[in-house]
Structure 1
């Protein structure tokens, strides 16, 4: 396979950690959720001070779409051991749960890669985290018992900065907010940093913990929530999305260094690309032309042909406009008019809901695990495929069952997408060599 500008020493994933709905806190548990075709939605949490009953009844007003008491919530979002990380109990309460979860999952990703987090102090290790503001904590102008810790506790930049500070990392550290493309955009920046020697090792991923139910209310008004509280990506019955939480972190390193250090290689990163819609049909409306251009650019950089990609983890929010635009863009790029079997398409949002800024990282984790095992897990809730493309003619298939990896020449190659309402589009292409 051509390196097409990637050089002879590609970037690889050497560590991975995940927290997802359904009590998932390891890659193995995540795979069990996916391979068992389980949905991990649950009722709204009752320990966050959310006016749950008012949310349900209030959404029945004119101009709003009913909010169902379902979402993909982390059962341990509030769990945190501040003493372990040298943080006082008072400061821990002031910290956005996204900081707490990101710190914990980043630590586990390093351990998963056989790297002692305590050994990284002073080394050129980068930290790139995708995250967005989800409405945690009171107004900074209010005098509360937490005043003094809130400015660092709620700043997005401190999500990555806290990890770097706790571990003593000396490489670049940044939090990237590109709406629902945040995590995959952060992964892209991290890959480029390792390639350009900005850092020898990088932690990259995304996190989302909902500090308020605001996104449910906003999408209720925009009529973009699911009618029944279930997310149905690429289905003819799709009526909207379901919000969720989660985090996934990856450790990146040059392949030669990974082999030298004896690190397990989860996958090789063939290409990552990010672009922008520009002026489209509306500020939050996706651009099919921009998406298709991004896919083609990623494949060129990866040095692979569309028919070599066995699995595509789409953004797949279950919204009519989003799914229609994405399906048509994928068909333009990956479609095969010869009628041959094409890539298997799905979205983990059917299992856990839409984890917003962390969505791309959770999708990436899915394709890495699937490529290693040589099977593609099913996408749920697809009674009838969306009529927006001609599936049989255009060479894409919905993964409705656990399916063996499509036969392709060479490595198992997969792609993953994430799109943000900001107009940012992100796409990554990875491969797994069973022989290596």
Structure 2
């Protein structure tokens, strides 16, 4: 077998379907684009239907050693909604299921429908399922005797998030839940791409999901002084002061190009490269490594077979924390910086609109890229009146997305990079090329 056959360049992996759910009631690509292009922020007050002690949470963050928690976050309005009968699940079992299982199952179904596939037709086929997710304290402890005992062991298992999809749809390919913290979705996407290239499956669902069962992450980041000063996420801004937590889900259907063409699928994007690596030992377990990120970005560029200046859009991780943004900006500038001022890639982060969706962050970022390419424009990141001073933007060639920016096709395609990293130390990066339908 030739090297080109091994790395997939003869028959690349392509994206043929997509579905998403984001804060603000976003459930379609059109809704998502409206949110992004109209420069709206989809943050809201803490949900009142989850038995969270909100007043205690807000008051508790005022004690010594903590940073104030604001009553703002990016929460899914659909987080508690689910039709168990549609999927053949009893109401008692449905309540015992982590909402992440419910939403992942629902969004997998919608992704297949978006691809023109009747999910029932996949029974017994080698379809893989790769979902990025993290455990977020849903429901009672397993040791508690409750009405839901007997269903909790599957209802709260991370592994069952992907397994539930495979079981319900009777899929015979691999089913893996990937937890690398905030890079989980993009890491799962990477594993799915590799699985298709190696022949582990003929088709793959890949993405990520996040629904918070408790406000615990707000408390932890309050103690670490890594929450935003005012409850708004300001990626790559000089006024960035911390992140704001959110929820979301995004999923994609992947195939080899030859199979997609044979099946008559509409190709949304070609996956030019994916890569993951690890920070190793840094100044702290959760501290990012600029060296590791630079190595990863440059490895992905080489694997993609593109020049850095061909990348027109970068959807960064962009947590809005000073350390995270500084590290990422310097690494991106080293890799994607253009020698011609004003011509480099346009950089932004959807976290400015919806907050930090944790394990689903990379999925929402990739969905933004696909939709932006379809519209031929890069939407502005919010709260970027004054760009971060950590890099010299003009000299280092990146452009911050401060307004809706036209994104013309070059040689019949638009190329973008998507990045994610997590407190696990795992960095993930993807480079995708979207065909211009008017040219194709």
TM-score bracket for this pair, using the shorter chain length: over 0.9
- Structure 2, unpaired ranges of 5+: none
Shift of 1:7: 2.2
Work out which of the residue numbers 173, 177, 180 in structure 2 matches 1:178.
Answer: 180
Alignment match of 1:423 (pick from 413, 422, 425): 425
> Alpha-carbon deviation of 1:35?
1.1
- Tell me what 1:245 maps to: 247
Match of 1:371 in 2: 373
Distance (Å, rounded) in 1 between the aligned partners of 2:263 and 2:195 = 20
The superposition leaves residues 105-139 of structure 1 with CA deviations (integer Å, 9 ceiling, x where unpaired) of 01000000001101111000000000000110111
1:384 pairs with one of 386, 389, 394: 386
Structure 1 segment 21-170 matched on structure 2, within 5 A: 21-170=23-172
Give the structure-2-normalised TM-score: 0.97
Q: Is 1:7 matched up with 2:9?
A: yes
Q: Hey, what's the Cα distance between the residues in 2 that align with 1:28 and 1:113?
A: 16
* CA positional deviation for 1:32: 1.3
Counterpart residue number, 2:267:
265
Cα deviation, 1:273-316, whole Å, max 9, x if unaligned, reads 00000111110000000000000000001000100000000000
In structure 1, the residue corresponding to 2:328 is in which secondary structure? helix
2: CA distance, partners of 1:136 / 1:41: 22
- State the number of aligned residues: 435
Give, in whole Å, the separation in 1 of the partners of 2:147 and 2:374.
Answer: 49
Q: Contact 2:417 / 2:430 at 8 angstroms: preserved in 1? A: yes
Asked whether the equivalents of residues 367 and 414 of structure 1 are also in contact (C-alpha less than 8 Å), the reply is: yes
Give how far 1:255 is off: 0.9
1:318: which partner in 2? 320
Residue 304 of structure 1 corresponds to which residue in structure 2? 306
Deviation by residue 1:314-343 (Cα, 9 ceiling, x = unmatched): 000000000000000001111124435200
> Which has the larger displacement, 338-347 or 49-58?
338-347
User: Which digits, 9 at most, give the CA deviation of each residue in 1:245-276, with x for residues without a partner?
Assistant: 00000000011111111111111110000000
Contact kept? 1:3, 1:303, Cα under 8 Å: no
How far off is 1:410 after superposition?
A: 4.8
What is the RMSD of the two structures over their aligned residues, measured on CA atoms? 1.2
Which whole-Å CA distance do the structure 1 matches of 2:416 and 2:150 have between them? 46
Taking structure 1 as the reference length, the TM-score comes to 0.98
Kindly indicate whether residue 364 of structure 2 is the aligned counterpart of residue 354 of structure 1.
no
Uncovered stretches (5+) of structure 1, i.e. residues with no partner:
none
Which of the numbers 384, 392, 395 marks the counterpart of 1:393?
395
Question: What's the CA shift string for 1:159-183, capped at 9, x where partnerless?
Answer: 0000000000000001000000000
Aligned equivalents of 2:299 and 2:408: distance in 1? 23
Distance 1:3 1:42, change over 3 A: farther
Contact 2:421 2:428 in 1 (8 A): yes
**Kept in 2: contact 1:268–1:431 (CA 8 A):** yes
